[in-house]
Amino acid sequence: MANNSLKDTYALNGDPLTKENLLNETIVLSNEKKTPPRNQKHFYIESYGCKMNFSDSEIVASILNKDGYKLTDSPKNATLVLVNTCSIREKAEQTVRKRLKLFNRLKHNNKYLKIGVLGCMAERLKHKILEEEKMVDLVVGPDAYKDIPNLLKEAEAEREAVNVILSKEETYGDIAPVRLASNGVSAFVTITRGCDNMCTFCVVPFTRGRERSRDPKSILKEVNELYQKGYKEITLLGQNVDSYLWYGGGLKKDFSKASSLQQKTAINFSKLLELVGTAQPKMRIRFSTSNPQDMSLEVIHTMAKHDNICNYIHLPVQSGSNDILEKMNRQHSREDYFKLIDNIKKHIPNCGISHDMICGFPSETEQDHQDTLSLMEYVKYDFGFMFAYSERPGTVAAKKIEDNIPESTRKRRLQEVIDLQRIHSEYRNQHFIGKIVCVLIEKSSKRSNEFWSGRTSQNTVAVFPKENYKVGDFVDIKIKEVTSATLIGTAMGISSSI
């Protein structure tokens, strides 16, 4: 490739090709043609998948800013296009591949353009992605973002720019994220990275590595800075937030090797919530995601104690059948899950609860599916995220459990789960009619520019006429009508609660 472009330049300027000016040409070429002038270094970033990816893109933006790159919202103006990718289901990867093809076309008109793949697909496919997606220049796994400036230099010199090394320490706690597409009201704060759970269907432990927690001091610093900048709500993020543990180090698997003093004074998730909730009593605190086996009674008590910790728990269950839960290597039974739900409802009666569900896991029988529906009947979730099982290469489920579920059965079961969830969402929302709820305004409603849209403490979307309120206000709303997805009401005034 370097030779071709050299030939092009030689042909254009017509200079005789000597060894000396060949060398000069090469230098001029790499300066002029491959490296954008400093004032033209613009990056465009697109994120797919979970909230963690969106949060990671804010870390990447911060690293690139320091390296002289400015953010642009159009890939056409960019000298660097990054796609932060998701591998969780096959469809997520297909979406990314389509985008990469589209971005590749921009290379015809943009001599400086480099394209980078970040995140889970980079980690899963490693060098292979360079062969599969011919015009990708950079491949960077989730723990290697600090290496991006070096990798860019490699890419500019037409050398392979791949770093997919997973770390046991990296939490990016020392990097102040640049808030992307922010409404200035809500922000994500990452508290753990990686996952040690090894659910048999899931690719995350392979793409994001070992579970490690971030130093609470750096978490509090970030939260305090967000408050000072006017943010009203934060979401503490991790694949498994309830297993947060800081004992001077944050690598989960080494906790047993810590000194007894370190173990005694360790900060678990409940203590972290307490710290954050107390540090900023005027901010709403949310967290995601909770794994049932790690959610303690202590966390529920802390939530109940602090008004600013939202009454909402995202509590994926994946299946209602004990057989399937075991095959998924989920570390709890259906009965354990019910006990947890009962405890949540006992201590936080109006707590909103949502779920993730996988339909058609290999070997799932009709009875297993009925167990899922009956579990949903018991809980009556406020809302949920429901998926057809997608086989991920390298996982235990892909290697060891024969997939005997026809696609049509999988789709039918998924539809039944979605239909039931719609009924439950409407049932839950009906309970809000006539009640006054506090809503934090986030943006204009998609349906009408005359309405604000925000969320209740339970994470339910509420819309209401704008009047003189503004984004970032906590407003008391009287709910008049509901759909399965939205509460509709009118404002009663600025709220005294949050």
Nearest CA to 384 among 316, 430, 457? 316
Which pair of tokens denotes residue 186? 């809500």
How does strand 192-193 pair with strand 138-140? Answer: unpaired
Total number of residues shown for the chain:
498
Taking the complex as a whole, how short is the minimal distance between the CB of residue 376 and ligand SAH, in angstroms?
14
Ramachandran bin of 143, using left for φ above 0, alpha for ψ from -120 to 50, beta for the remaining angles: alpha
- Please identify, using beta-carbon distances, which residue of 351 and 405 lies nearer to ligand SAH: 405
Query: Would you give the end-to-end CA distance of the chain in angstroms?
Result: 59
Task: Answer for the pair 368, 435: CB distance below 8 angstroms, yes or no.
Answer: no
Instruction: Kindly determine how many residues on this chain lie close enough to bind ligand SAH according to the rule CB under 6 A.
Output: 17
Q: Please give the residues from 253 up to 312 whose contact with ligand SAH meets the rule CB under 6 A.
A: 289
- Please identify, using beta-carbon distances, which residue of 100 and 313 lies nearer to ligand F3S: 313
- Please identify, using beta-carbon distances, which residue of 187 and 199 lies nearer to ligand F3S: 199
Taking the complex as a whole, how short is the minimal distance between the CB of residue 314 and ligand F3S, in angstroms?
12
Which residues would be at the binding site for ligand F3S (CB under 6 A)? 195, 197-199, 202, 204-205, 239-240, 291
> CA separation (Å) from 297 to 62, 179, 243, 294, 381?
37, 33, 13, 10, 20
Task: Answer for the pair 318, 325: CB distance below 8 angstroms, yes or no.
Answer: yes
Q: Give DSSP secondary structure letters for 32-78.
A: IIIS--GGG-EEEEEE-SSHHHHHHHHHHHHHHHHTT-EE-S-GGG-
453 binds ligand SAH, rule: CB under 6 A: no
Taking the complex as a whole, how short is the minimal distance between the CB of residue 139 and ligand SAH, in angstroms?
22
Taking the complex as a whole, how short is the minimal distance between the CB of residue 93 and ligand F3S, in angstroms?
16
Element at 430 (helix H, strand E): helix 407-430
Residue 205 binding: pick among ligand SAH, ligand F3S, none (C-beta 5-8 Å cut-off by kind): ligand F3S
How does strand 138-140 pair with strand 161-163? Answer: parallel
Taking the complex as a whole, how short is the minimal distance between the CB of residue 291 and ligand SAH, in angstroms?
6
Taking the complex as a whole, how short is the minimal distance between the CB of residue 345 and ligand SAH, in angstroms?
22
Q: Token match 């906590």: residue? A: 474
Taking the complex as a whole, how short is the minimal distance between the CB of residue 86 and ligand F3S, in angstroms?
12
Residue from 100, 113, 175, 202 touching ligand SAH (CB under 6 A): that is 202
Which pair of tokens denotes residue 424? 């439950």
- Please identify, using beta-carbon distances, which residue of 88 and 285 lies nearer to ligand SAH: 88
Residue from 201, 246, 312, 464 touching ligand SAH (CB under 6 A): that is 201
Residue 165 binding: pick among ligand SAH, ligand F3S, none (C-beta 5-8 Å cut-off by kind): none
Which pair of tokens denotes residue 148? 């991006």
- Please identify, using beta-carbon distances, which residue of 198 and 297 lies nearer to ligand F3S: 198
Contact pattern for ligand SAH over residues 341 through 380, marking x by CB under 6 A: ---------------x-x----------------------
325 binds ligand SAH, rule: CB under 6 A: no
Taking the complex as a whole, how short is the minimal distance between the CB of residue 76 and ligand F3S, in angstroms?
35
403 binds ligand SAH, rule: CB under 6 A: no
Give the C-alpha separation, 145 to 353, whole Å.
Answer: 34
387 binds ligand SAH, rule: CB under 6 A: yes
50 binds ligand SAH, rule: CB under 6 A: yes
Question: Helices (DSSP H) in 289-406: which residue ranges?
Answer: 297-305, 322-327, 334-347, 366-379, 396-400
Q: Please give the residues from 82 up to 121 whose contact with ligand SAH meets the rule CB under 6 A.
A: 88-89
Task: Answer for the pair 57, 180: CB distance below 8 angstroms, yes or no.
Answer: yes
Phi and psi, residue 214, nearest 5°: -95, 145
Which pair of tokens denotes residue 345? 């409802």
Residue from 389, 452, 469, 474 touching ligand SAH (CB under 6 A): that is 389
Taking the complex as a whole, how short is the minimal distance between the CB of residue 197 and ligand SAH, in angstroms?
8
How does strand 233-237 pair with strand 284-288? Answer: parallel
- Please identify, using beta-carbon distances, which residue of 88 and 344 lies nearer to ligand SAH: 88
- By CB under 6 A, name the binding residues for ligand SAH: 50, 88-89, 201-202, 204, 239-240, 289, 316, 318, 356, 358, 387, 389-390, 392
